[in-house]
Amino acid sequence: MHLVAVNAGADVSGAERVLIDLLRHARSQGHRVTLACPEGALPEQLADEVEHVALGINRLGRTRGWRRRLEILQLPLNWFRVGRQLRRISRDADALISNSTFALPAIGMAFPHHRFRGGNSPWISWLVHDTITSRKQRAVLRLGAPALDVAVAVSEVTAESVRPMVSNALVRPNGVIIPAEPRGGVETNPTQPVVGILAVLTSWKGQDVLLEAMVHLPGVQLEIAGAAFPGSEDFEQQLRDRAAAPDLAGRVNFLGHVHRDEVFPRWDVLISASTSPEAGPLGVLEAMAAGVPVIATDHGGAAEYLRGGAGVLVPPGDPEALAAAIEKLLQDRDGMRACREQARARVLAKHDLAETVPRMLGALISG
């Protein structure tokens, strides 16, 4: 079987990590794999494993005024050109998988009459990593939806957000590697608690909300792990400036890109402070598997993971509520232990990578 995977960008974050696992599993099953995406880190990680076709899908940047209007006017031509390219490289493909919401318009233009296709058209699926909440997302989905045979979402809340336009929407949750023994929190010091956030630095991840919560927790240290998302460098500088203010100075460390195994042993709690609903945050699942208690905002995939005692949920964008939840959990060692146990049991039951990847790939290539 020949699979073509499409990704709008080349940076590697959570969605791309899922795609890498899927494509490696496909290769292990003997499938031929073509990756269509821009040049960059993603194709470099798979350089010896898949065929790569360079693709240039325009996505609206952070421009304003006439530059932004010009970008919008140029989008249809870009989608048309990319669509023609996808049509060519998918000529002998059995399945085409979109790993990006913003690749859907080009796919829609490549296969405008897909629902009435003949025998030469591939099965087309969309792996949904975005909970569709904005007008821009809905507009993009509307352009690509007619070409889709199936949408495979990583959480039920995300599947519900796409069903108004893609009725065949399945749920196949993300998975993570589960360590044999939980190592989270084994190096913590009760007299100097440390909370951490593991996410790219961009405004909707909520690092700014967490900084404001820390103002109410003078005895707690914060570690911010993650590099700036492309285009979010100004936001990173705003975070650093805020952390240097007198009410936070000396209590916030920026770690840059680090592996979870470097930080989980010394973190008392992991925070997921996203202000927009994430479909299936891998960092939350990894913390649950490692035995790090999680406090997350009450929406998206994180809420599905943590309900019923596997973690603590707080309203999004509310630093006071977040601070109160952190303080309460740090003072409740029995509660922390219960969170660890329930969270790890849930990951073992539903989010083992060895089981989730084959199920997800199966849904993507055959529904």
Q: Which domains does the chain have, with CATH numbers?
A: 2-175+353-366 (3.40.50.2000), 194-350 (3.40.50.2000)
> Cα angle vertex 274, ends 269, 280, to 5°?
85
User: Whole-model pTM above 0.85?
Assistant: yes
Are the beta carbons of 324 and 331 closer than 8 angstroms? no
- Are 35 and 7 within 8 A, CB to CB? yes
Tokens linked to 225: 């792990």
Q: Check the CA dihedral 335-337-341-343 and report its sign.
A: positive
DSSP state of 171: E
Interatomic CA distance for residues 318 and 298, integer angstroms: 11
With tokens 């100097």, the residue in question is 192
> Where do we find the tokens 């009435």?
116
Q: Which two tokens stand for residue 72?
A: 């919008």
What would you report as the CA-atom Rg of the chain, rounded to the nearest whole angstrom?
21
Residue 296's nearest CA partner among 305, 348, 259 is: 305
Instruction: Please say whether the beta carbons of 296 and 302 come within 8 A.
Output: yes
Q: What share of the chain is helix, strand, coil (3-state, %, to 5)?
A: 45, 15, 35
Task: Tell me what pLDDT residue 112 has.
Answer: 85
What are the mean pLDDT values of the chain's consecutive 10-residue runs (367 residues total)? 95 94 98 96 95 81 61 80 94 96 94 66 95 93 95 97 96 96 85 94 96 97 93 94 97 95 96 95 96 96 95 98 97 93 96 98 92
Spatial neighbors of 76 by CB under 8 A, at least 6 apart, are none
What pLDDT score does 189 carry?
85
The whole-angstrom separation of Cα 25 and Cα 289 is: 22
